[in-house]
Amino acid sequence: MPGHSDPGFDTLALHAGAAPDPSTGARVTPLHLSTSFVFESAEHAAGLFNMERAGHVYSRLSNPTTAVLEERMAALEGGVGAIATASGQAALYLAIATLAGAGSHIVSSGALYGGSHNLLHYTLRRFGIETTFVKPGDIDGWRAAIRPNTKLLFGETLGNPGLDVLDIPSVSAIAHDAGLPLLVDSTLTTPWLMKPFEHGADLIYHSATKFLSGHGTVVGGVLVDSGAFDWEAAHAKHRLFPELCEPYAGFHDMVFTEESTVGAFLLRARREGLRDFGACISPHTAWLILQGIETLPLRMERHVRNAQKVAEFLAGQAAVESVGYPGLATHRDHALAQRLLPRGCGSVFSFNLKGSREQGRVFIETLKIFSHLANVGDCRSLVIHPATTTHSRMDDAALAFAGIGPGTIRLSIGLEDVDDLIDDLKRALKAASK
């Protein structure tokens, strides 16, 4: 509520974390392309390295431009802070690696972006971290999958590609009952459509490549902490979070929860994960994402309006078997979406074409406005065939588990005139039906 509280969303999207540059008067956040920053004195240098003083040392750890992006995203999500990363995948990995190690276990929604599924199912297993996948709507399944060594629960706010709406209030309650945090990928919803912290999530990450940037220009990610999860209380019960609650030999035997009651997770993630794994964002990328965020409210409003109209159009076509958009009453999570996503259900969704894989090929290749490529959240409309691209590493059973069929087509609806988009789809459907 604007007034005697934080400013409103649109104001924060323009101002949070930024002010006119004190040295030059520049109104727009300057782009600080500098690897490193001069110390005022030997004492100042030592103080920065010992976390006695705040400031920038080296742009892998922090950078003035990047920090504006981090603070802005924390403000928009309602968190305590954020860490920008080289990509959304880097943000996911940073979140997991800060909490989990060999012998750890994760409970995850099975409806994930293919790259996230790959990380959890194949890559992290190689490092001793196991994942149990559950159907996002199977609330009892979430609870049953938790083991004594489970470190976190994870899901996407809108599951890829079937747009299962994650019941964050229910899943977070299960997580918290077990003394565990809930991490969500909020890429497809952005804080304009949903603020997962308000529903109980503890950690959020975004592929900022998508709607936050909004223009298909750069790859980046951001990890945000609510500051609400009580790591100490959870650790006292189950001893699951020594990384945050016990001395860390890798940084002066620091106990992060003692240093910062609500910022411990981000301290560790920056002081370990960003420092050691090094998947930092380029300040130039951060700057471009900031430009995108300034217009996020305007763009998201148009994205969801266009998407709703396109989804309704497709739902009425004889050549279309089904449309997986929660904004439609036919979607299994429509009621949940109305509760959690009152502003709209994003602009990325899938539908199933009737007919063969060849008809799918014709459909995609006939489209003129929609670009056939592996991205979503661009201001331009996009299309892809998940079974042969983004999710091609999954076997048939995993594809079916994720709700992907051979005729599934994923659309990312952009900001064009919606009538033009519908005309384009009409032409392609007609061509595919011949």
Partner 1 sequence: MKRTVNDKTAYAYTGGRVFDPALPSLVLIHGALNDHSVWTLLARSFAHHGWNLFAVDLPGHGRSEGPALASVEACANWVWALLDTAGVKQAALAGHSMGSLIALEAASRQPARCTRLAMIGTAYPMKVSDALLATARDMPLKAIDMVNAFSHSGWAAKPSYPGPGAWLHGGSRALMRRTLAGHPAFNLFEHDFRVCDRYANGLEAAAKITCPASLLIGERDQMTSPKQTAALAEALKARVSRLPAGHALMAEAPEQMLSALRAALQ
The reply to whether 130 sits near partner 1 by the rule CB under 8 A is no
> Which of residues 13 and 394 has its CB atom nearest to partner 1 in the complex?
13
Q: How far is the CB of 218 from partner 1 (least distance, A)?
A: 19
**Residue of the chain from 8, 36, 53, 177 that contacts partner 1 (CB under 8 A):** 53
**Residue of the chain from 7, 101, 405, 406 that contacts partner 1 (CB under 8 A):** 7
**Residue of the chain from 27, 239, 252, 357 that contacts partner 1 (CB under 8 A):** 252
Please work out the total of residues on this chain that contact partner 1, with binding judged by CB under 8 A. 54
Query: Residue 253 region, left (φ>0) first, then alpha (ψ -120 to 50), else beta?
Result: left
Residues pairing with 351 in the sheet: 323, 409
> Which of residues 70 and 294 has its CB atom nearest to partner 1 in the complex?
70
Give the three-class secondary structure for 107: strand
> Which of residues 7 and 141 has its CB atom nearest to partner 1 in the complex?
7
Q: Distance between CA 397 and CA 77 in Å, rounded?
A: 35
Distances (CA, A) of 136 to 16, 167, 302, 333, 337: 33, 8, 28, 11, 14
The reply to whether 202 sits near partner 1 by the rule CB under 8 A is no
> Which of residues 55 and 128 has its CB atom nearest to partner 1 in the complex?
55
CB 421 within 8 A of CB 306: yes
What's the CA angle centered on 216, arms 87 and 402, to 5 degrees? 65
CB 391 within 8 A of CB 404: yes
Q: Distance between CA 55 and CA 45 in Å, rounded?
A: 10
Binding mask 80-119 vs partner 1 (x if CB under 8 A, - otherwise)?
xxxxx-----------------------------------
**Residue of the chain from 45, 139, 173, 228 that contacts partner 1 (CB under 8 A):** 228
Distances (CA, A) of 226 to 87, 140, 158, 223, 299: 20, 25, 20, 10, 25
Of residues 254-313, those binding partner 1 (CB under 8 A): 254-255, 258-263, 266-267, 270
Of 108-116, 156-164, 225-233, 396-404, the window that binds partner 1 (rule: CB under 8 A) is 225-233
The reply to whether 78 sits near partner 1 by the rule CB under 8 A is yes
Backbone angles phi, psi at 159, to 5 degrees: -65, 140
What burial class does residue 297 get, using C-beta atoms within 10 Å of its C-beta: 0-12 exposed, 13-18 middle, 19+ buried? buried
Interacting residues with partner 1 (CB under 8 A)? 1, 3-7, 12, 15-19, 47, 50-56, 62-64, 66-68, 70-71, 74-75, 78-84, 226-228, 230, 252-255, 258-263, 266-267, 270
